[in-house]
């Protein structure tokens, strides 16, 4: 798990905080679907409503592909939030796009993967957000089962959980993100979204999110 560059990570953090795609509330934590209490909420889909931020992310993901996966022949978005980001990226690179459902379509062809399936094709997976990596890596396995060669994954943001790093390593998948939790927090302090006390609480959460709060 790595980022494209420190400079871009800082810029992406600033923009996501500014448009409130990322919210930090250690005193009024959010509750995730898993039941975890969390001082952070990330909804990168908001970036699609802001052309400047949308283009910053598109360009960053494009650079990530060109630098880490220059042999990419197609882009696969993870449903649902990875679909628009992946489509923008594939359009910029002028290569095919497809997407992976969380479960097969319930009627018609009952597809798990939407788009042209070309066994042996080299594909890069696109996510908007990576937490533990479970759903992201399921999409990778679905693509592999269909015959694709998965080169790796790119994403906008990662929480940087140790369990995610372990999961990606076990699956043999390289993950490159534009920003992550480690690079976000210093920018949040610098821009006065949080103070030093909140910073300490946020740091504790990342170490053991299931027990925090």
Residues annotated in a binding site for 5-phospho-alpha-D-ribose 1-diphosphate: 101, 105, 107, 127-135
**SS3 of 10, please?**
helix
The reply to whether 18 falls in a domain is yes
Residues annotated in a binding site for orotate: 131
Q: How far apart are CA 76 and CA 114, in angstroms?
A: 9
pLDDT of the residue at 109? 58
Q: How far apart are CA 12 and CA 72, in angstroms?
A: 24
59: left (phi over 0), alpha (psi -120 to 50) or beta: alpha
Residues annotated in a binding site: 101, 105, 107, 127-135
The reply to whether 129 falls in a domain is yes
Task: List all residues 6 or more positions away from 193 whose beta carbon is below 8 Å from its beta carbon.
Answer: 17, 24
pLDDT of the residue at 105? 64
CATH code (residue 32): 3.40.50.2020
The reply to whether 209 falls in a domain is no
- With a threshold of 0.85, does the pTM exceed it? yes
Residue 130: give the domain boundaries: 2-203
Token pair of 205 as six digits: 């959460």
Question: How many domains, the chain?
Answer: 1
pLDDT of the residue at 156? 98
Report pLDDT digits (tens) over 62-86.
999 999 999 999 999 999 999 999 9
Low-confidence ranges of the chain (pLDDT < 50): none
The reply to whether 208 falls in a domain is no
Q: How far apart are CA 2 and CA 69, in angstroms?
A: 14
Is it true that the peptide bond before 80 is cis, omega within 30 degrees of 0? yes
């Amino acid at each position: 798990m790595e980022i494209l560059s420190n400079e871009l990570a800082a810029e992406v953090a600033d923009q996501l905080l500014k448009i409130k795609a990322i919210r930090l509330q250690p005193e009024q934590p959010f509750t995730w679907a898993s039941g975890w209490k969390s001082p952070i909420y990330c909804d990168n889909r908001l970036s699609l409503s802001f052309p400047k931020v949308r283009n910053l992310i598109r360009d960053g993901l494009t650079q990530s592909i060109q630098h880490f996966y220059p042999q990419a022949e197609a882009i696969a978005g993870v449903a649902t939030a990875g679909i628009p980001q992946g489509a923008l990226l594939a359009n910029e690179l002028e290569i095919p796009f497809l997407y992976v459902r969380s479960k097969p379509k319930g009627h018609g062809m009952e597809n798990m993967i939407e788009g042209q399936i070309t066994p042996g094709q080299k594909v890069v997976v696109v996510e908007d957000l990576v937490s533990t990596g479970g759903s992201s890596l399921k999409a990778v396995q679905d693509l592999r089962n269909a015959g694709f060669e998965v080169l790796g994954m790119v994403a906008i943001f990662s929480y940087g959980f140790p369990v995610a790093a372990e999961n990606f390593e076990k699956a043999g998948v390289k993950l490159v993100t534009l920003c992550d939790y480690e690079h976000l927090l210093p920018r949040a302090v610098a821009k006065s979204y949080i103070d030093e006390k909140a910073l300490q609480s946020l740091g504790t959460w990342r170490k053991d999110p299931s027990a925090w709060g």
